[in-house]
Amino acid sequence: MSGNRELLEATLAEAASEDRAALIAYLPGGFPTVDGGIAAVKAAVAGGADVIEVGLPHSDPVLDGPVIQTADDIALRGGVKIADIMRTVREAHEATGAPILVMTYWNPIDRYGVERFTAELAEAGGAGCILPDLPVQESGLWREHAEKHGLATVFVVAPSSKDARLATITAAGTGFVYAASLMGVTGTRESVGEQAQDLVRRTRATSDLPVCVGIGVSTAEHARQVAGFADGVIVGSAFVKLMLDAPDEAAGLEGVRALAAELAEGVRKR
Facing residues of 25 across strands?
52, 235
Please list, in sequence order, all residues whose beta carbon lies within 8 angstroms of the beta carbon of residue 208, skipping any fewer than 6 positions away.
Answer: none
Catalytic-residue membership of 53: yes
- Number of CB atoms found within 10 A of residue 34's CB: 21
Burial class (CB in 10 A: 0-12, 13-18, 19+), 183: exposed
Catalytic-residue membership of 64: yes
Q: Which of 133, 41, 16 is nearest to 91 (CA)?
A: 41
Q: Which of 212, 219, 102 is nearest to 152 (CA)?
A: 102
DSSP state of 269: -
d(CA 193, CA 141): 35
| Torsional sign, CA 106, 107, 110, 111 | negative
Phi-psi region of 104 (alpha: psi -120 to 50; beta: other; left: phi over 0): beta
Q: Compute the half-sphere exposure of residue 144: CA atoms within 13 Å on the CB side of its CA.
A: 8
Q: Which of 42, 37, 15 is nearest to 176 (CA)?
A: 15
The residue from 53, 84, 91, 231 that is catalytic is: 53
Q: At what angle do helices 249-267 and 34-47 cross, to 10 degrees?
A: 30
Q: Which amino acid appears at position 189 of this protein?
A: R
d(CA 197, CA 176): 16
The residue from 9, 50, 64, 72 that is catalytic is: 64
Which residue numbers are catalytic? 53, 64
